[in-house]
Amino acid sequence: MFLPLKFFIRLNEKEPAPIYNGKTLMRPTLLFLSLLVAGAAGAAGPDLGKQADQDYGLRDDSAKARECLALYQQIVSEQPSNVEAMWKGSRIAHWIGEHAESRSEKLTVFHQGMDLAQRAVSIDSSCVDGYFWLAGNSGSYGKARGILESLKLLHPIRRELETVLRLNDRFQGGAGYLILGVVDYNVPFFAGGNKKRARQELLKALAIDPTNGFNNYYMAEFEDVVGHRAEARKRLEAVERAGPSDGVDPADIRMIQKKGEALKKSLGG
């Protein structure tokens, strides 16, 4: 599941950004992954996908998460038209980036996730997962780069999410609506944000899956942003009760409940 991020970020970033969507992207070094790829190379081809999927389920372990990405990268290298490996690689890249401590690692893996997802949708224009993770990694890359990069990527991110909704508006419990809502309540009004629209989008996600932990957490965060703390606490109670659902596995639940606990503490609950 995509973890949405706030768009109020640093202005003093100087590193060059890649050109997005159809133009050549600058590739940050992936040296920290090279040894993992080399280690995975000895595995039998048909078993790589199975092993990568198993590693994804164990991604709370950072070593397993990195091995997972390396395996998907190897599959794509050996099978350049394997769309499933591309979007799954993009998905785990986003997870690694969200949990990385260093900015340089975040930029590296988010960029890799963008590249994999872009390749997936270039091959298969109906790949919902590809568009979703392209939007996710792009948003997170922009956050790590700085506010100017985030604002520059807003239009492409909205376009990818609108494509998700057009292809399958119920994807992962309404995740397309959810992320559009998160963008709208985090982006300043002058840059295109809109809190009224954000509420409508978040409610659409909740209507699709009212028990989804992510839908409830981000509605709670929205209620906090607009000053409705009592409503935020009620939503957090639903986060505490949440279980796995469409596109949301136990690792996702642990992550979103941890965020819920932190928000509850900040609310004084």
Per-residue pLDDT of the chain in tens (269 residues, 90 and over written 9): 645 544 333 323 334 444 444 444 444 444 344 434 444 444 445 689 999 999 999 999 999 999 999 999 999 999 999 999 999 999 999 999 999 999 999 999 999 999 999 999 999 999 999 999 999 999 999 989 887 778 888 999 999 999 999 999 999 999 999 999 999 999 999 889 999 999 999 999 999 999 999 999 999 999 999 999 999 999 999 999 999 999 999 999 999 999 999 999 999 85
Residue 146 pLDDT: 86
Q: What is the token pair recorded at 135?
A: 């939007």
Are 1-11+22-160 and 169-269 in the same CATH fold?
Answer: yes
Residue 152 pLDDT: 87
Q: What is the token pair recorded at 177?
A: 């609506």
Measured in degrees and rounded to the nearest 5, phi and psi for residue 248 equal -125, 110
Cβ neighbours, 10 Å, residue 218: 26
pTM of the model: 0.83
3-state secondary structure at position 245: strand
Residue 3 pLDDT: 52
Residue 42 pLDDT: 44
- CATH topology for 169-269 is 1.25.40
Q: Can you give the residue ranges of every domain in the chain?
A: 1-11+22-160, 169-269
Whether residue 83 contacts residue 56, with contact meaning beta carbons closer than 8 Å, is answered with no
Residue 45 pLDDT: 58
Strands (E), the chain: none
- CATH topology for 1-11+22-160 is 1.25.40
